[in-house]
């Protein structure tokens, strides 16, 4: 059934979405959006296994092989993007040009100018843009962020252990999450960055990044993608001496659902998303750009 045959099934007020990418994370997005909206159509690279997964688990969603055809579909209000990172920029821009609200996985783009262009494109069109910095929507992280509003963070340690193999560099795969978390906890961008490790190289599995937020406030980000144990840890020390500790094994589905609901609420209310909106995501990409440059400088030096 073509997407345009589906209009009669629409419940009043239900957002209708097209989803790009049906890989490991795209499937989670399809599941999450299906719980809160109507997934009308998906597109992917054409791999049979992922198409079969869609047909078996979400038979009412159509599949098309071209992103542009999906973005132009008049029935959908929004596009969610979980295609490979290098496609985020062009696909988000295409969806905005078609008048669709955009939920795009992290990172928003892989250079600061492209990120700024996307933010402006959404602004001039009056469309909503939210980026999938999913940990920001974890309820426990939200609590720590709230409680550190009046008791500011002095030091924060982020540790991430994963087990490979991996094809994306740490810079675009894992750092967007922790840079977003650190900026959200410190409520500003870092003044300086220091890098140990070739974070922009897909072969690099171990690295450490220090973010200096000024006035003695520091965040340390440590990665090990060869760890037999899969775990993410965050430890925060505040001005009053209070310690907040958070740890998670793989990302909990509720955080993704919270992110999807936040996006849908922003679209319904006609306002920017409260968390992880375009302007915030631009700041994250700017910091990632600086980290990438610092890493290259370190390798040359």
Ligand X SMILES: NC(=O)c1ccc[n+]([C@@H]2O[C@H](COP(=O)([O-])OP(=O)(O)OC[C@H]3O[C@@H](n4cnc5c(N)ncnc54)[C@H](OP(=O)(O)O)[C@@H]3O)[C@@H](O)[C@H]2O)c1
Residues that bind ligand X (CB under 6 A): 20-26, 43-47, 50, 67, 82-85, 87, 105-106, 132, 134, 173, 251
Share of the chain residues as helix, strand and coil, in percent rounded to the nearest 5: 45, 25, 30
Q: How far is the CB of 185 from ligand X (least distance, A)?
A: 18
Nearest CB to ligand X, comparing residues 45 and 298: 45
Structure tokens at 198: 């070739």
Q: How far is the CB of 265 from ligand X (least distance, A)?
A: 19
Tracing tokens 């290259």 back to the chain, one arrives at 296
Residue 210, burial from CB neighbour count under 10 angstroms (0-12, 13-18, 19+): middle
CA distance 39 to 42: 8
Q: What is the DSSP letter of 11?
A: P
Q: How far is the CB of 255 from ligand X (least distance, A)?
A: 8
How many Cβ atoms sit within 10 Å of the Cβ of residue 187?
A: 12
Nearest CB to ligand X, comparing residues 27 and 244: 27
Residue 251, burial from CB neighbour count under 10 angstroms (0-12, 13-18, 19+): middle
Q: How far is the CB of 283 from ligand X (least distance, A)?
A: 17
Q: How far is the CB of 293 from ligand X (least distance, A)?
A: 20
* DSSP-based three-state secondary structure for 187: coil
Q: How far is the CB of 285 from ligand X (least distance, A)?
A: 13
Residue nearest to ligand X (CB): 23
Q: Where are the beta strands (DSSP E) in 133-214?
A: 153-163, 192-196, 206-212
Q: How far is the CB of 274 from ligand X (least distance, A)?
A: 18
Nearest CB to ligand X, comparing residues 15 and 42: 42
Nearest CB to ligand X, comparing residues 85 and 258: 85
> Which run of H or E residues covers position 45?
none
> Which run of H or E residues covers position 44?
none
CA distance 88 to 106: 9
Structure tokens at 160: 């991430």
Structure tokens at 66: 């071209």
Nearest CB to ligand X, comparing residues 76 and 154: 76
Nearest CB to ligand X, comparing residues 213 and 263: 263
Nearest CB to ligand X, comparing residues 104 and 154: 104
């Amino acid at each position: 059934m073509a997407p345009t045959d589906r209009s009669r099934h629409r419940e009043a007020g239900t957002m209708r979405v097209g989803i790009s990418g049906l890989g490991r994370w795209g499937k989670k997005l399809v599941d999450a959006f299906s719980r809160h909206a109507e997934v009308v159509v998906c597109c992917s690279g054409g791999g049979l296994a992922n198409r079969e997964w869609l047909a078996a688990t979400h038979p009412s969603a159509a599949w098309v092989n071209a992103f542009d055809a999906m973005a132009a579909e008049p029935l959908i209000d929004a596009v969610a993007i979980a295609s490979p990172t290098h496609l985020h920029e062009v696909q988000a821009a295409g969806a905005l040009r078609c008048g669709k609200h955009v939920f795009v996985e992290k990172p928003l783009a892989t250079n600061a100018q492209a990120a700024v262009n996307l933010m402006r494109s959404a602004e001039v069109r009056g469309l909503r843009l939210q980026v999938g910095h999913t940990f920001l929507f974890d309820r426990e992280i939200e609590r720590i962020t709230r409680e550190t509003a009046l008791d500011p963070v002095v030091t924060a340690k982020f540790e991430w252990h994963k087990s490979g193999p991996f094809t994306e560099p740490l810079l675009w795969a894992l750092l967007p999450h922790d840079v977003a978390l650190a900026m959200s906890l410190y409520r500003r961008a870092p003044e300086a960055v220091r890098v140990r490790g070739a974070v922009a190289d897909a072969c690099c599995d171990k690295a450490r990044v220090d973010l200096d937020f000024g006035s003695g406030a520091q965040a340390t980000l440590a990665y090990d993608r060869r760890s037999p144990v899969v775990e993410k840890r965050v430890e925060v020390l505040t001005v009053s001496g209070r310690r907040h500790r958070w740890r998670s094994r793989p990302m909990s589905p509720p955080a993704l659902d919270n992110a999807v609901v936040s996006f849908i609420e922003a679209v319904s209310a006609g306002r920017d998303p409260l968390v992880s909106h375009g302007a915030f995501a631009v700041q994250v990409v700017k910091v990632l750009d600086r980290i990438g440059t610092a890493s290259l400088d370190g390798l040359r030096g």
